[in-house]
């Protein structure tokens, strides 16, 4: 062996010895496992912080997906009666939606603008009458404390109105939701394949199944929501404007405005029904006790019809969400994200439940295959 070969071998041995004795090298496998676990947790925390930082943007994207699901559901429904290309069906849904909002704006501007202007004053008068009635019954109410409560409520309503105008009135947010929603509704498979491409090959099949279930659930959930809004709005107007005179009560004031508000608030489960019921009762009692009792009866009739007839028809084909869980999610999302969080709490909760159910199915299938292999061995 030459001197050069011997020197090379000595350098290699010394290098390996140095690597084994280096302070940056961890030889204990348990320590390496703990370091790996710590790195994983640091990565998870980093992702959570990043998600919180961009959460509002992600919520806007999710809102666009909800809008896309409604467009896609309408296009699929038209496909049952119109054998035309999907692009034309999507365009027809968008045109119909645009015409509806144009009509609604014209109707609101021409018919209920005066009612909307009188509405806050009427509510204040009814609250004052309610307090006078309570005092006449011996219920002592501190006027200064009541003013503080009224100031807090007014401040809260102002904050709510500001959030609503900032989110729904922001041109950039609305345009982004519309553009993203239209693009996704036009070619949903394109974006689904793009996300699946970034996953490992063995996970793509499961991802496609999960996305298909989520999309189907979201379409049916939004279909039920829109149907409920339509039914509650139409029934409210019929009962307040047409049926009330037939039973000798007379037309309930602001019937058109109450019908529109009831229909719009029906998009928010639980909270929307409570708010619309309170508004309907306050307006009803402005026309007398009989009219107030009638509006309460109308409210319970509409809510029961929607709860026992409309919702079961849709809900039996979609994910079943516990009302208490939905309300808690709405409150949490409302605190963090405002009005848009309340609007999207129900769809987001439904998507999470579908994902968890799909994960449970995969775990059960994996456990079953393991038991079969063990029994065969």
Q: Can you spell out the DSSP letters for 15-81?
A: HHHHHHH-TT----HHHHHHHHHHHHHHHHHHHHHHHHHTHHHHHHHHHHHHHHHHHHHHHHHHHTT
H or E element, residue 137: none
Q: Is the model's pLDDT at 104 over the cut of 80?
A: no
Please report which confidence band the pLDDT of residue 157 belongs to, taking 50, 70 and 90 as the band edges: very low
Give the DSSP per-residue string, 182-238.
HHHHH-HHHHHHHHHHTS-HHHHHHHHHHHHHHHHHHHHHHHHHHHHHHHHHHHHHI
Whether residue 316 is predicted with pLDDT greater than 80 in this model: the reply is no
Question: In percent, how much of the chain has pLDDT > 70?
Answer: 72
Which two tokens mark 328? 């808690």
Return the pLDDT at 294: 92
- How far is C-alpha 329 from the geometric centre of its chain's CA atoms? 10
Q: Does residue 166 register a pLDDT over 50?
A: no
Higher pLDDT, 318 or 238: 238
Is the model's pTM score more than 0.85? no
Least confident stretch, 31-40, 151-160, 316-325: 151-160
Q: Give the pLDDT band of residue 165 (cuts 50, 70, 90).
A: very low
User: Cα(310)–Cα(316) distance, rounded to whole angstroms?
Assistant: 11
122-146: average pLDDT = 67
pLDDT (tens digit, 9 = 90+) per residue, 4-17?
555 555 555 555 54
- Is pLDDT at 18 greater than 70 in this prediction? no
Average per-residue pLDDT for the chain: 77
**Rounded mean pLDDT of 250-255?**
84
Q: What is the mean pLDDT of residues 195-210?
A: 85
Q: pLDDT at residue 62 above 60? A: yes
Distance, in Å, from the CA atom of 352 to the CA atom of 354, rounded to the nearest integer, reads 5
Q: Tell me what the mean pLDDT of segment 264-286 comes to.
A: 83
- Could you tell me which residue, 58 or 241, shows the higher pLDDT? 241
- What pLDDT shows up at residue 93? 92
Q: Is the pLDDT of residue 310 over 80?
A: no
Contact in structure between 86 and 78 (CB atoms under 8 Å)? no
What pLDDT sits at residue 164?
41
For the cut 50, the answer to whether the pLDDT of residue 358 exceeds it is: yes
Q: For residue 313, what pLDDT band results from cuts at 50, 70 and 90? A: low
Tell me the average pLDDT across 339-349: 84
């Amino acid at each position: 062996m030459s001197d050069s070969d011997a020197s090379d071998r000595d350098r290699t041995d010394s290098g390996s010895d140095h690597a084994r004795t280096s302070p940056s090298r961890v030889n204990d496998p348990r320590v390496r496992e703990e370091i790996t676990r710590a790195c994983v947790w640091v990565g998870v925390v980093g992702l959570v912080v990043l998600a919180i930082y961009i959460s509002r943007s992600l919520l806007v994207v999710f809102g666009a997906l909800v809008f896309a699901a409604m467009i896609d559901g309408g296009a699929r429904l038209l496909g049952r009666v119109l054998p035309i290309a999907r692009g034309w069906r999507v365009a027809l849904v968008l045109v119909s939606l645009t015409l509806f909002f144009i009509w609604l704006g014209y109707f609101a501007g021409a018919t209920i603008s005066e009612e909307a202007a009188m509405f806050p004053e009427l509510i204040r008068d009814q609250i004052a009458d309610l307090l006078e009635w309570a005092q006449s019954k011996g219920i002592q109410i501190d006027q200064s404390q009541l003013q503080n409560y009224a100031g807090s409520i007014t401040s809260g309503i102002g904050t709510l109105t500001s959030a609503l105008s900032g989110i729904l009135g922001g041109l950039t947010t609305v345009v982004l939701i519309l553009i993203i929603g239209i693009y996704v509704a036009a070619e949903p498979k394109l974006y689904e394949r793009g996300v699946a491409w970034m996953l490992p090959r063995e996970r793509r099949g499961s991802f496609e199944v999960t996305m298909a279930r989520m999309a189907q659930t979201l379409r049916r959930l939004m279909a039920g929501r829109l149907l409920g809004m339509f039914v509650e709005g139409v029934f409210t107007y019929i009962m307040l404007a047409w049926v009330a005179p037939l039973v000798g009560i007379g037309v309930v004031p602001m019937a058109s405005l109450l019908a529109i508000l009831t229909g719009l608030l029906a998009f928010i489960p639980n909270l929307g029904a409570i708010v619309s019921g309170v508004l309907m009762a306050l307006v009803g009692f402005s026309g007398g006790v009989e009219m107030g009792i009638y509006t309460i009866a109308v409210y319970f009739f509409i809510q029961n019809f929607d709860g026992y007839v409309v919702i079961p028809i849709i809900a039996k084909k979609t994910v079943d969400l516990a009302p208490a869980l939905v309300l808690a999610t709405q409150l949490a999302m409302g605190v963090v994200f405002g009005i848009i969080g309340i609007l999207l709490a129900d769809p987001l909760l439904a998507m999470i439940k579908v994902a968890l159910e799909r994960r449970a199915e995969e775990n059960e299938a994996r456990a079953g295959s393991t038991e079969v292999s063990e029994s065969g061995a």
